[in-house]
Structure formats: structure tokens, C-alpha cells
Structure 1
Amino acid sequence: MGEGPGLSGRPGSADRRRRLAELLLRRELAAERAAGAPVRRPRPAEPAPLSPAQERLWLVERIYPESAAYNELSAFTLRGPLDTAVLRAALAELVHRHEALRTAIVERDDVPMQVVVPDAALTLTVDSVDGLPVRRREAAAAERAAALGAAPFDLGAPPLLRVALIRLAERHHLLVLAVHHIVSDGWSIRVLAGELIALYAAACEGRPAALPPPGVQYADYAVWQRERLESPEVAARLAHWRNSLAGAPEQLELPTDRPRPARESHAGAEYLFTLPEELVERLERRGREEGATLFMVLLAGYFVLLSRYCGREDLLVGTPYANRAGSGLEGAVGCFATTLLVRGRLSEDPTVRELLRTVRGTVLAALDNGDVPFEWLVRELRPQRALDRNPLFQTVFALHNQPVPLPPPPTGLTVEPVPRPVVAAKVDLELSFLRTPAGLDGHLEYSTDLFDPSTVQRMAAHLGVLLAAMAEDPDRAVHDLPLLTPAEAAGLAAEWRGAARHGGQDGRLRAVAGILGCTTDDVWLLAHDRGWEQAAARHCAREAMRQDASAGGLARALAAGADVLCLPASALPALTAAYRGPRSGNGPRLVLLRGDGPVPPDTGAWFARHGDRGPQLVSVWGPERTGGWGTLLVHRSDGGVHGPLGGAAPGTALAVVDARGRPVPPGVPGELLIWGPSLDGAGEGSAVTAPAGVDLPEGAGPCLATGLRVRRHPAGHLLPAEPPSAAQAAALMIEEALRRHPGVRDARVQRRGSGLVAYVVPALAAPPPVPALRRFLSETLPGRPAPGAYVYAESLDAG
């Protein structure tokens, strides 16, 4: 199981032998560079400096002392007879063999150092869930394992390892190990697991364990690495990285479901999927044609996916690198792994073949210079640092081969690794694959601060579409590769075909009238500013009324008992405060909210206050060339929205496309296109062809490019192109909460200096006291930021 760019291909194949020879040659060169490799220092040794990787982890721990993001958790199912006393002795010997497990991170003269203590007692925590019903034991054991990994470590109190044994039945146990990354890495976990089994088996069988004596320890390596980093050779490698990363973007602006928090919480989850063996074999064949490994082919596909999602053609991806070649460290435990940066450039519209060749060269160059710690690259490049994201890269890619089998346990006992649940995300998004006989097991780990599970699931599906297209046609330009799944493409095509079935303008008006419960004449009048007054006059203020958003205007409209109330969408907060419920059946049946743009207003405060008791809310918007009816959405009380044809008004079709006119997936920003069989020939917007993959009916006119950037929700309605910033989201949340207070008609929250100010329009003559508002917000939004000052106003019209 490799930590980074690995080999691919079938054992014994000529291609694999060639790549193996290439890798061995590179390792020999690495060994030559490692002349004067780390040596074991005399014991007892003086305190050693931290390695650059340890220094970064120590700093992270200082910033996030309660975080468990860098706790490495692993678990093993044990079935058969188990001697707990022998297991304790084996664990003690494991701690004795590896100084990293007995290392304390301390400060000497304000400088962090690592000190190896002669003894660090490890406690084996024994727990049991066998008293629970059988069907609940697995889940209960998993919860206790997760709790072990979620507790932060005190870096100054070794051992930085916890072990728990959870009994599920007499001959069924779960062994859980949690170790901090500052003294370990993925390779180290496998070393520890293998040695623990070997020590336990030897003790049970009354023989010495066939393990080599401890060699170079991690503190020895840290001293050697610090000395080597001052060498001319490393200076030359730093020059390579400066040149190869010059002008590279420091941030990957993936479209997210929520604004990025001011500080990372590292909360994470994962989505699992599979690439079938047939596809993997075709990808390997494409790679062989260009001298590329499976790792390089998959990374190329990931570059294309990221480019299509974020609209960038210059990308940086991190990939883990074991960093142990040529230095005799294969059996050592410590934080050796580093991150290689791989740059993907798609700006010259390469074909799949061309991209594979480029990625191959970039990966090999990164390997040639991979012994420069990532932390030194950060120091050298000096990227902008922030607490809300990782520097230089925010996404990781890795390909792992099948792990090396564990040593045989004693007779009668079986040991099986347990896939660990992801509960911490070190970066925004991490894609990894594990090679199996059935193909590739994919893992997409993601920050739950930023992404919903459904979004990550769609990403995995789109990656599968891209990879299949790369395998099918390597001479195709990567920007022309399909991205949408067959179901998404079929749904878009069906929407556009459906728009043609309404038979022109008359058919559209009848369909809209059926939804709104109006006549077709009313629908036409309500769609145009010049028609609001005519509609109101025709129906004697009983059927339709256009009003401004002032308190007096809303009060008069509600008192008049109009059946249909027509308002700008910006007036919804004021209507929310002014509406007092139906009065003897004379309240409006329908409120038509006409927006200045295609994104519907937030109706959360309305439904929180009025529920289903009020009139039906309908949002409409449309450029003049659509006759005023481009989008039409009927709001529901559950906070969602519902619109015929996925948010498009009847007789209208919508698509969100990228700069090349290709439809983008839900949640990805792009330009809004509108088409309908009866689009007017004049007005704002420009005529363009239909989006790629959509066939318009014969004789259909062009589409309307609105010039508006939006995203589309999976349900069909439109969203702002970017989620609000964390500060904007906090202000909007407070505004919505304040509007729910019975003494508040409207509210606006703005940042002034370093704090928030709430502007409040009282609903009654006597404004609610400020302490009451503070108390209301603390109960409604516990733990959230709150305004530092409150200002009462008669209206918010002046901003």
C-alpha cells in the first residue's frame, strides 16, 4: 500500500517491468543522494529539533488544541482465543522498540523540541459491548473506537499512542489504535501492526520474535534532515520548485454548498464508490500508450474534473509521498511522509494523450525533487496564510496498491483490518483509490463544513463519466469530454423538449394561468409593469393589486382584500412583518414576488412566522424577451421550492453553461441560458446556440444568453453563483431570526468596523427593548455571533 505515486499494471507484464526498472533507478539515485544517510546517535541522546513536518503539526496543535484532525485511527477485528496479558506485553515491547512512541514534544527557550523518555507506560483499555443485543454490538464498538480517536493528545505526555480492546463476544474482539501524526504516518501504522502481531504470536508460541533490532530512530532522522536541508543539493531542488510553481494559483475555488468558515473545523466524512475492472484495464492501456502509470492517468482525470468544476485551467493538487527511499528507514516509525505538489495545466486545450504526457513529466519531476519537505516549500514560496484553508493546495489525490499482508497470527486467531470511518478532513477534498481484484475502490473524503453528501456523490459520478470518455477517445480534447451523467443529460434534454410542447405564447400563458389560478389576460398583464394597474382596475382591487413595499402600502393592500398581491421580491421581509393572517377569508390567496434576477428570495422567515396559514408565495422572473415568465417557482412550507419543469416557467427551458457552452452539473457556476419556442426577437441578452448535447426542435430559434452567472440546485431552481461569505451568511441568519421576533417588522444587519450592527424597524409603536432582542437571539442562535449595537429606524428604504 503505497503513499503516493505508485506502479500500475499486471504482475509480470513488460510494461510493469519497464516501470519497475524506472522506479528502481530513481530509488538508486535517491540512495546516492542520501550518502551520509541518518545514523543512530549515542544514547542517551540530547533533545532533538523537530522535523519540518513535526513543526507544522505542532503549530496546528497550538492553534487547534481541541482538534483530533491529525489523530491516525486504525482498527483490527480479532477472532479466536486471545490472551490479554500477552497482548499487553507485546504492546509494551512495541513502545520500547520505537522511540517515536516515547517522544514528548516540549518547548525549550520557546523552541519546540522532541525528547525521548526512557519509559512511557502504555495502558491497554479493555472495554466490552457483549452485554448488548447482538445486532447493536458492531455499531457500539465502532462508536467507542471513534471516541478513542476523537480525543486530543497532550503532545508533552507520551506515549502518543492509545490502544483499546473492545470485546464483542468471547472469541470476537476489536483492537483499536490511535496515534498522533506527529510521531507516525500511514507507513508507520503498518509497521506497528505487523510488529505487534509478530511479537504477540512469538510470545504465544514460546519463541523470540523474528524482528530486526531497532535501527535509526525518528529523532536521528530529524537531526540529519535539518543538517541536509542546508546543503547545496537541496537548494537546487528548491530552485526547481520555485520555477515549476511560479504563478501557480494558491487557492482552489471549488463551488461549495456553504460559505467557508473563518476557521477550519476539520469535520469530515467520505463517500465510497467503485470503478469496475473493465474500465480500469482500459485506462491502464491508455496509460501504457503514453508511458504513464495508472496513477498518472487517474490524476489527469482528476485535473479535468477539478477544472470543469471550478472553471480554472491551472491547478495544484497534493499527493502523499512516503519519503523513505534510499535511507534504510523502511522499518522505522515516525512522521516521514510528505506531500508532493503536482501542477495541472489545461489552458492549451490538450487532447487526452497530450494531457497524459504532460502529467507524466510533471509527476516524474516531482519525484526527482520529492525529498524537499513540503513545509520548506511553504517557507520558500511564502503563500498567503489563513486559518480557513491549507496553504498552496486544498485537495489531495492518492493511489494505493493492495497492502502488504500482515504476519501470520498464532494458530486459531485471525486478524482483519477494519476500514476506518472518516471523521476528520485535513483538506477540502481528498480523492484516493485502492487497487483490488474487482477494480478500484474510490474514497472521496470531504470537509462537511463545505460540502453536502449529495454534492460529493455527484462529483464521483462525473469523474466516472470523464474517465470512461478518456479511455474511449484519447484523441479528444479534454475540454470536450462529457461530464454530465446519462440521467442528467437526459433530464436536460427532456426539459428543453418539454418547453416546445406548450404551443407558443398562448400555450405558455394558459399553463401559467393554471398554476396561478388566474386568467390568461391576467397572466400577461401581471408580467409587465404597464399592466399592474390595469389588472388592479379591471378587478376592482379584489383580484390583483400592485403595491410598493412601504408599511402604509402593504397595510392598504392587505386591508383591501386583494385576491392576488403583486410585489417586488425585496418586499417579502416587510410583508412577513405586516401580514397578520387571513381575515374572514378576505386575505390574498396568492402573493406574486417578481425578482430583479433569477434567484428566488429566501422565504425561511415567512414560513417560520406564518407556516401554511398564509397565501401561496410564487416567485417569477424573466427578461423581456421571455414575456416576463422565464422562471416560476412555487414555494413550500418546508423551506424548499417547487417549480414546474425544474424552475423554468412553462414553455421555457433553462441551462447553466460554462465559458465553452457546455452544460455544467448542479451546484457549479455558469451563465444562464433561456430558450422557449416563443422568445421575442428584441430585448436584453444575446442570441447563442443551444448548449452542447441538446437538440432543439426543427426550426427553433436561438437561445437567450442572459449574461447572468448562477448555479442550479439539483431540484431545478437557481442559486447565486457563489454562496455568501461567512460574514454575509452570519448577517443573513441574524436578520432572519430578528424578523421572527413579534416586535420586529424588518431588520438588516451590517458589519461596521470589527462588529455587527442591527438596524431594526419595530412592528409596534413601542420598540422591543435591546436586552430583550439580545436574549431572543441568544436563545434562537446559541453560540452564534450577535450584533454589538442596535439602531431603530422607521424603514430600511434608505439602506
Structure 2
Amino acid sequence: MPLFPLSPEQQSMLFLEGLFGPGIFRNTLISLPLRPELTRARVQSAITRLQQRQEALRSALVGRAPYLQRTEAVDPRLRTVVARPGESAGELLAARKADRLVSAQVRELPGRAEYELIEDPAGRERFLLVTLDHLVCDGHAERVLTAELTASLEDALGRRGSESGELPVSYRELCEQRVDAAARAERETRYWSRSLDRLEPVSGLIPRPGGTDAGPTDGLSLGQVQKLYRGPALHALVGAVCRAQGATAFSVLAALTAAAIWHRGGPRTIALFTPVSTRQRSGFDVAAGCFVHDRPVVCHIDPDQALSDSFKSVMGQNLAALRFSALSVPDLACAVPPLGAALLSDGVDYVQLHVGMAAGVAADPVAATRSAADTTGPVPAPDERRPRDLGPFRPALDLSVTTLRFEFTPGETTVRAFCGGAPGGMAVAEGLADDVLALLAAVLRKPDGTVAALVESSLSR
């Protein structure tokens, strides 16, 4: 495993940039309509406050070193873009969003964030467009930033008190509130050394490129399959499972994802990865950031373990992991060799999980349980299935990346499977997402069963 010169105070690692290659994800966009009375100076003040308070938005890569990052205080620049005669501000916004979604970010720009004030020639219709690199902001963190930015703009008009005044300045400060500063790094290293003692990197999940002379990047691509399930059934199902098992939606889906990987020949102790913003009840729902603040989710498969114990084990270690967060990602990878191997080994399959669900999983538990009963058989076919080729995949090492995203709402459930790797990998990623849903539907049939019994009764060999 390579070692990198790191400063605990300033360095972190946007490892997707170095490991998976630049530009593999589209940017994240935030657009907000602006009231006529909001002056340019007030908008500038709001975005400056946002960038000062969110550490992820003050992060930039250092020179050409792919793993190093600096954090600095800097005032964001607000660019004004005026519509052409006959073009509305809304039309200009749509055009700018299409362009900014796929635009290349400047790696030395803190936060890889760009801010545009979009208006018509008369200044009657105006929007704020924020472009954020996916490396520092995912879809869940986008909600955090949108809420804080909206509050800041309202504060600028005196329409609201200082409801956002108690938001933390940085993710690190959240961690410091929970652990004595003098012991944070030592405690975190000790915690992860114990938690990852049996960790085996996932390998062989995604088909390998094969023995070509062009190296590990030959023939690799990044793809996505999105499936849409309309109606409340899956939302009600996961709510019923969470209530019955006493666990969060994220913990349930993480444990089931690990079980699905194990069923496909994976190891028994698996590290999944996720930004902090996807873990419910973590206390970190005000901190934005994607891979800058990544921590593993350790799932150990004990075939004879009761399902409720498996779910609660994952939930407990999630909270403990966040409590002890102090080190940067590369510091932690270097201090705990199993984690470094899971991130930086040739042939590794990097698996990430995102789960979105409102805190109140169902307004009517009785109705939710009744609706969930309708889905305890095979998961129905999706109402829509949309495959998409996102372009070439050029990792720095011989590895693949698989991301599963589950978004549960009362009206519909969206499942997205992403895969960067060799041909055939996308089918594996999609099948893995299907396996997770199949296991979820089966939990209510055998709520007191074991992990092995659930897998054997739900997934084919």
C-alpha cells in the first residue's frame, strides 16, 4: 500500500479523483429563485457564509498530488450571467444547468464550487445557480446545503431569525464535540483497528478487463441503471421492517447489501462506504460533504446471527464510527492497513451505498404494515427501467466502483445502480440491487430468522 505525506490538520483525500480518475461523476447543481429585493451584495454574503461554514466547500486538491487536499478560507466569486434579448432567465437557467452538469471543475478551486447569478436583462427574474463537484457534494449533501443557503438568503432579508446560527462551522467541529481533542486520533485508530481486524477487501464481484496489453483502463466504462417503482409499497415495506427490527433504514439496507455480496462469493467481513449525510440519526445531518468525509460501514456476516442483531450491530458501529471521527481519510488508511488495502489494492471492488428516507417512515403504522404485506412475495417488476452509458472509466489502479442508491418515498421508490469497470459489471451491479430488494421483502416473512436462512430462502444459487 502506498504511503502519502499527510498533515492531520490540513490534508484529506478525495480518493475518487486519484483512484477512479477525474470527472467520473456529473456535478451536483443547486438552483434557487431570488426575491427582487435580494441585492447582489446580499447574495454574495449568503454564499460566503455557506462556504465558510461548510468545510467541504473550502477544500481543494494540492498541485498534482492526487490524494492530498488543503482546506482554506476563501471568499467565493459570484458571476453574473444575463439573458440575451428575447430569452427569459428561466430559459437561460435551463441552458446553464445543462452545461454546468457536465463541466470540468478546476481542481485547485476550493470546494470545486462555482456560483452564478442568472437574470433577465431587466433584472425582474433572477436565480442563483451553484455548481458543486460530486467529490465534495452528493445528492444527500445537496439537501443540507440547499436548506442552509435558503435560510441564509432569508436571513439576509430579515424574514427569519437566526435559526441556522447554531449550525456547525465544520465537520471536524462536530466530531470534536463528542470526543476529547487530545485523544481523538488515538481512539479512532484503535476503534478501526478492532473493527476492521477481520476485513477482507471485496474482489471478484465485478468482471475484470482481462489480460490486455493496454492496461487496467482498457475497455472500462461507467454506467447506470435506474429503476422506478411507483406507489407506496416499498416505502411501507422498509418502514415496517425498520419498526419490527428496531433499526434505521440505512442499517437495514447496509446489512442486506453485505449479505447479498457474501451470497455472490464475497467475504464475510465487508466494508461498504458512504458519505455521512446518508446515515440517519447520526447527528450529522447539518454537515455537507461526500467523499471528503467518507467512513467505512463494517458489516460482518455471521450466518447464524439473528436478523435483528445483524441490523443493530451495523447501526451501533455507524454511530460509534462517527463519534470517533478525527483523522483524514488517507491518515486513517495509512494507520489501519486493512482499510488501506480495501481502498488502494489492485483488483479491489469498491462498493458504496446511499439510502434516502424521511425520518418518519410512515404516518400510519397499521396501514404501512398492511401495504407492506402485499410485497412480501417477489418484488414486482419496476414501472420504468432506464440504462445509461456515462462514458469511459479510467481508474488509477486496477479496480472497479459500484454504487447502490435507494430512495424511498411514499409515492415511489427509486433504485439506481452505478458501475465503473469492465463490460458485464453493470449487470452485476443491477443484480446486486435486485438482490437487496428481494432480501428486504423476505425479512417480514421470517423476522426472527437468521442471516443464512434469509439468504437461502430469498436468493437463488
Query: Does 2:106 correspond to 1:153?
Result: yes
Query: Does 2:170 correspond to 1:251?
Result: no
Query: Does 2:216 correspond to 1:262?
Result: yes
| Structure 2 SS opposite 1:466 | helix
Alpha carbons 1:432, 1:444 under 8 Å: kept: yes
Query: Does 2:32 correspond to 1:56?
Result: no
Match of 1:363 among 312, 315, 318: 315
Alpha carbons 1:317, 1:393 under 8 Å: kept: no
Aligned to 1:193: 146
- Displacement after TM superposition at 1:302 (Å): 1.7
Alpha carbons 2:402, 2:429 under 8 Å: kept: no
Aligned to 1:179: 132
Query: Does 2:388 correspond to 1:436?
Result: no
1:718-757 pair list within 5 angstroms: none
Report the Cα distance in structure 2 between the residues aligned to 1:422 and 1:388, rounded to whole angstroms: 26
Match of 2:232 among 245, 270, 277: 277
| Structure 2 SS opposite 1:369 | helix
Aligned to 2:301: 345
- 1:417-436 deviation digits (Å, cap 9, x = unpaired): xxxx9969997222222231
- 1:115-150 deviation digits (Å, cap 9, x = unpaired): 324x44322445679879x9x999866531323xx3
| Amino acid of the structure 2 residue aligned with 1:249 | E
Query: Does 2:197 correspond to 1:242?
Result: no
Aligned to 1:398: 354
- 1:603-654 deviation digits (Å, cap 9, x = unpaired): xxxxxxxxxxxxxxxxxxxxxxxxxxxxxxxxxxxxxxxxxxxxxxxxxxxx
Match of 2:440 among 461, 467, 481: 467
Larger radius of gyration: 1
1:549-698 pair list within 5 angstroms: 662=461
Alpha carbons 1:218, 1:334 under 8 Å: kept: no
Aligned to 2:79: 123
Which consecutive unaligned segments of at least 5 residues does structure 2 have? Answer: 1-5, 361-387
| Structure 1 SS opposite 2:48 | helix
Alpha carbons 2:232, 2:411 under 8 Å: kept: yes
| Structure 2 SS opposite 1:437 | coil
Alpha carbons 1:314, 1:343 under 8 Å: kept: yes
Aligned to 1:296: 251
- Displacement after TM superposition at 1:151 (Å): 0.8
- Displacement after TM superposition at 1:196 (Å): 3.5
Alpha carbons 1:397, 1:430 under 8 Å: kept: yes
Aligned to 1:565: none
Report the Cα distance in structure 2 between the residues aligned to 1:462 and 1:72, rounded to whole angstroms: 29
| Amino acid of the structure 1 residue aligned with 2:295 | T
Instruction: Sort the Cα spacing of 1:437 and 1:392 in 2 relative to 1 into closer, same or farther, 3 A.
Output: same
Aligned to 1:530: none
- 1:444-480 deviation digits (Å, cap 9, x = unpaired): 2322655565554444334333332333234371342
Aligned to 2:71: 114
- 1:331-377 deviation digits (Å, cap 9, x = unpaired): 6666773323222314x4x37xx133123223303422332345444
Report the Cα distance in structure 2 between the residues aligned to 1:221 and 1:114, rounded to whole angstroms: 14
- Displacement after TM superposition at 1:114 (Å): 3.4
Report the Cα distance in structure 2 between the residues aligned to 1:448 and 1:128, rounded to whole angstroms: 43
Q: How many residues align?
A: 399
- 1:741-782 deviation digits (Å, cap 9, x = unpaired): xxxxxxxxxxxxxxxxxxxxxxxxxxxxxxxxxxxxxxxxxx
Instruction: Sort the Cα spacing of 1:376 and 1:444 in 2 relative to 1 into closer, same or farther, 3 A.
Output: same
- 1:144-185 deviation digits (Å, cap 9, x = unpaired): 1323xx312232x45742134678999998754222467667
Aligned to 2:368: none
Which consecutive unaligned segments of at least 5 residues does structure 1 have? Answer: 1-47, 405-420, 485-661, 663-799
| Amino acid of the structure 1 residue aligned with 2:71 | Q
| Amino acid of the structure 2 residue aligned with 1:401 | M
- Displacement after TM superposition at 1:270 (Å): 4.5
Match of 2:114 among 162, 187, 204: 162
Instruction: Sort the Cα spacing of 1:400 and 1:56 in 2 relative to 1 into closer, same or farther, 3 A.
Output: same
TM-score (norm 2): 0.65
- Over the aligned positions, Cα root-mean-square deviation in angstroms equals 5.2
| Structure 2 SS opposite 1:441 | strand
Aligned to 1:68: 23
Report the Cα distance in structure 2 between the residues aligned to 1:63 and 1:311, rounded to whole angstroms: 22
| Structure 1 SS opposite 2:12 | helix
Report the Cα distance in structure 2 between the residues aligned to 1:360 and 1:438, rounded to whole angstroms: 28
Alpha carbons 2:58, 2:71 under 8 Å: kept: no
Report the Cα distance in structure 1 between the residues aligned to 2:389 and 2:181, rounded to whole angstroms: 34
Instruction: Sort the Cα spacing of 1:388 and 1:164 in 2 relative to 1 into closer, same or farther, 3 A.
Output: farther
1:197-236 pair list within 5 angstroms: 197-201=150-154, 207=158, 210-211=161-162, 212=164, 217-218=169-170, 221=173, 231=183, 234-236=185-187
Alpha carbons 1:431, 1:444 under 8 Å: kept: yes
| Structure 1 SS opposite 2:458 | coil
TM-score (norm 1): 0.41
Instruction: Sort the Cα spacing of 1:470 and 1:120 in 2 relative to 1 into closer, same or farther, 3 A.
Output: closer
Report the Cα distance in structure 2 between the residues aligned to 1:220 and 1:458, rounded to whole angstroms: 37
| Amino acid of the structure 2 residue aligned with 1:361 | S
Alpha carbons 2:168, 2:286 under 8 Å: kept: no
| Structure 2 SS opposite 1:481 | helix
- 1:508-536 deviation digits (Å, cap 9, x = unpaired): xxxxxxxxxxxxxxxxxxxxxxxxxxxxx
Report the Cα distance in structure 1 between the residues aligned to 2:18 and 2:252, rounded to whole angstroms: 39
Alpha carbons 2:269, 2:299 under 8 Å: kept: yes
- Displacement after TM superposition at 1:200 (Å): 4.4
Q: Percent identity?
A: 19
